[in-house]
Chains A and B, each alone.
Chain A
Amino acid sequence: DAGITQSPRHKVTETGTPVTLRCHQTENHRYMYWYRQDPGHGLRLIHYSYGVKDTDKGEVSDGYSVSRSKTEDFLLTLESATSSQTSVYFCAISSGGWGTGELFFGEGSRLTVL
């Protein structure tokens, strides 16, 4: 299995509070991604990173920010959580060649915003 660890795995929080999800990899892969999974929508890309301090937005980036200060860590932050951000969040990594490479996924982080 690819060395990807997401934390926390489960979190319940209240509307308006900040939340940070962490993705840690031991594969030294260049590319890292954050997706959210919702019923009927499949997986949608929030943000991705193609190197340290290099990030870009995906299709559902509003309300989210990311940071990557080290190759192995990719943080997803909800500055002020809303109920619409209740979801399962997946981190994924790729060694490169985005369009030709396989994505390896973490186990997911289930976030509930009350």
Chain B
Amino acid sequence: AQSVTQLDSQVPVFEEAPVELRCNYSSSVSVYLFWYVQYPNQGLQLLLKYLSGSTLVKGINGFEAEFNKSQTSFHLRKPSVHISDTAEYFCAVSLQGAQKLVFGQGTRLTINP
């Protein structure tokens, strides 16, 4: 079965600094990969997804992620964060053609002024 590990439970950064949120997955077959964001007291919304093709995926709000098959990683990056990026971020994986989306434990991103 596939699984997802988000390596950091909390990441504090200063405003306008770059940030990387790390995600590793395990699967013996091809997968689809997703990043979701959850703002306080809200549901989750999709930031970006990797289905196939270019390994560099661009999403909303200036975020991007890179799929690295050899390292089984899908790290999320933003070159310059804003206070409004304060939220919890979830990495998720699904097997191609399967009926199951598995989420990581989440990373809480805190932006300090």
Contacts and interface: CB of A to CB of B under 8 A. Distances in A.
Contact of A90 (B9, B43, B97): B43
Interface string A1-42: 000100000000000000000000000000001010000111
A107 B6 CA distance: 23
Contact of A45 (B44, B49, B100): B100
Q: Provide the main secondary structure of the chain A interface.
A: strand
Contacts, number: 58
A42 B106 contact: yes
Interface in A88-108: 90, 92, 98-100, 102-103, 105-108
B51 A100 contact: yes
B26 interface: no
A92 B43 CA distance: 9
Interface string B81-113: 000000000100011111111111110000000
Interface of B: 4, 6, 9, 32, 34, 36, 41-46, 49, 51, 90, 94-106
